[in-house]
Amino acid sequence: MIFETFNVAGLGCNSYMVGSDGEVVVVDPQRDIDVYLKAAERLHVRIIAVVETHLHADHVSGGRDLAAATGASLHVHEAAHAAYPHRAMRDGDMMRAGSMSFKVIHTPGHTPESVCLLVESRELSAPRLLSGDTLFVGDVGRPDLTGNEAARGLASMLYKSLFEKVVKLRDDVVVYPGHGEGSLCGSRSIGGGATTTIGQERRVNHAMQPSSESAFVDRIIAGLPEPPADFHRIKQTNRSGPAPLRSIEPRALTGAEAREAVTKGAVVLDARPKPATFAAGHVAGSVWVCPEGPFATRAAWFTPRGTPIVLVVDSDAAARNAARALCRVGVDEVLGWIQGGVDAWRAAGGEVATVAEVSPATIASKSLRVIDVRETHEWQAGHVDGATHVPLGRLAERLSEIDRKTPLAVMCASGNRSITAVSFLRAKGITNVQNAIGGFVAWKESQKPVSMANK
């Protein structure tokens, strides 16, 4: 029996390879499919089918590439209206891989086409549920990623899916969700742990508690976090069918080559680990994004599609990791990385800039206008009185709201996301901006006034 999990750090995405007797099914493959090809070779199995539990909105799928590379059939629910060749799944459909049977359970709610797969076999002590984005550890899929206007209708569908289908499964069914902790696809905050059971979720999951449909819908809609800015584009990419993945081996560029690329319209993305390093000296006009955590998701917010990207990183390996992460969210335009980094850029005559930083005391004494780029729930828990709230993921689309004349201090929780925001604002010509040292944590620790009002 084969039941392997593949996790993408930073996106919180899970995919699965399941089967026996030399045959496996891959469920929700990531875009860089080499991990499945290598696993199949290692396990001496043949990938006979690829299944998408839904059209993903947080990452570009590798389903088409994997099916093409292996000759496997590609399965998507008929409600997806996918625009590429596939086999349309329906509720109750069955497929097999060796002794493993896979039953399709249509569970609309996160999206209209969402499905779960109930896996059964004589080799399993209890059935397993590949739950996609319907059921997570301690949470369920958010219903607003096809648009706010459809959210209430999808939340009603989710209620029916949970209480008419999922909750009726045996308590001992082991749940393997499509996302884990750190994903933005949950209606609240997805819990830790790789698996759960139907019985456990029936007891502790906020969405699985007995409720009327109307109360459930109101509760789900009211608690939704800010929708990520790039999700609509990714979902449309997965509906139409991603282009085949090109090489994700960025080449080393000299400082002169990097300057020439920027002159021709390339943007510079700085993915060095420490924000302080960026603040002390960086390629003028570059945007910094922390390479840890949701690097690719955040980088996609600030890198226009179709525009070549030049990376500033510490090594060839870091460049490959960054390019691989970016391709997973559909950012395929990485041209290369500057070998020698900022020093090579400077030696080639490129301009180097720094980021000014400002303390809580200075913010208060100079009455600087604060731009708070934290998430809504962080803002509501406390913020600087008079600050303007612009979540980092919405900064690009709300750029016109930023006052270009007033001196600004950008704040997040601890000073990480704010450096990204400052670098982006400066790249867009808003130069009268400083980074709030230590973020809101430092503000509170300095005993400055905190407003709790939801402004």
DSSP, residue by residue, 198-239:
HHHHHHH-GGGS---HHHHHHHHHHTPPPPPTTHHHHHHHHH
> At residue 11, what is the residue type?
L
The domains of the chain are located at 2-240, 251-353, 357-445
The secondary structure of residue 378, as a DSSP letter, is: H
Rounded to an integer, what distance in angstroms lies between the CA atom of residue 32 and that of residue 16?
A: 14
Rounded to an integer, what distance in angstroms lies between the CA atom of residue 329 and that of residue 108?
A: 24
Catalytic residue among 13, 290, 327, 412: 412
Rounded to an integer, what distance in angstroms lies between the CA atom of residue 107 and that of residue 53?
A: 10
Q: Do residues 195 and 149 lie in contact, with contact meaning Cβ atoms separated by under 8 Å?
A: no
Q: Could you say which of 3.60.15.10, 3.40.50.300, 3.20.20.150, 3.40.50.2300 is the CATH number of the domain covering 2-240?
A: 3.60.15.10
> At residue 394, what is the residue type?
R
DSSP, residue by residue, 287-305:
EE--SSSSHHHHHHHTS-T
Run of H or E including 77: strand 73-77
412 assigned to active site: yes
Q: Do residues 288 and 270 lie in contact, with contact meaning Cβ atoms separated by under 8 Å?
A: yes
Dihedral (Cα; 145, 147, 148, 150), 10-degree rounding: -100
Burial class for 241, CB neighbours closer than 10 Å (0-12, 13-18, 19+): middle
Contacts of 47 (CB under 8 A, 6+ apart): 17, 24, 25, 26, 36, 40, 66, 70, 72
What's the whole-model pTM score? 0.91
* Topology of the domain covering 251-353: Oxidized Rhodanese; domain 1 (3.40.250)
Fold match flag (2-240 vs 357-445) = no
User: Given phi > 0 = left and psi -120 to 50 = alpha, else beta, which region is 330?
Assistant: left
Tell the residue number behind the tokens 């002159």, with chain if given. Answer: 263
Rounded to an integer, what distance in angstroms lies between the CA atom of residue 403 and that of residue 117?
A: 51
**Which architecture, in CATH terms, is 357-445?**
3-Layer(aba) Sandwich (3.40)
Q: What is the pLDDT along the chain (455 residues), one digit of tens a residue?
A: 999 999 998 889 999 999 999 999 999 999 999 999 999 999 999 999 999 999 999 999 999 999 999 999 999 999 999 999 999 999 999 999 999 999 999 999 999 999 999 999 999 999 999 999 999 999 999 999 877 788 999 999 999 999 999 999 999 999 999 999 888 899 888 998 999 999 999 999 999 999 999 999 999 998 788 777 788 899 999 999 988 887 788 999 999 999 999 999 999 999 999 999 999 999 999 999 999 989 999 999 999 889 999 999 999 999 999 999 999 999 999 999 999 999 999 999 999 999 999 999 999 988 899 999 999 889 999 999 999 999 999 999 999 999 888 999 999 999 899 999 999 999 999 999 999 999 999 999 998 889 986 54
Rounded to an integer, what distance in angstroms lies between the CA atom of residue 439 and that of residue 29?
A: 37
Q: Do residues 51 and 93 lie in contact, with contact meaning Cβ atoms separated by under 8 Å?
A: no
The secondary structure of residue 191, as a DSSP letter, is: P
DSSP, residue by residue, 58-70:
SS-B-HHHHHHHH
- The structure tokens listed for 175 are 């749940």
Rounded to an integer, what distance in angstroms lies between the CA atom of residue 21 and that of residue 176?
A: 22
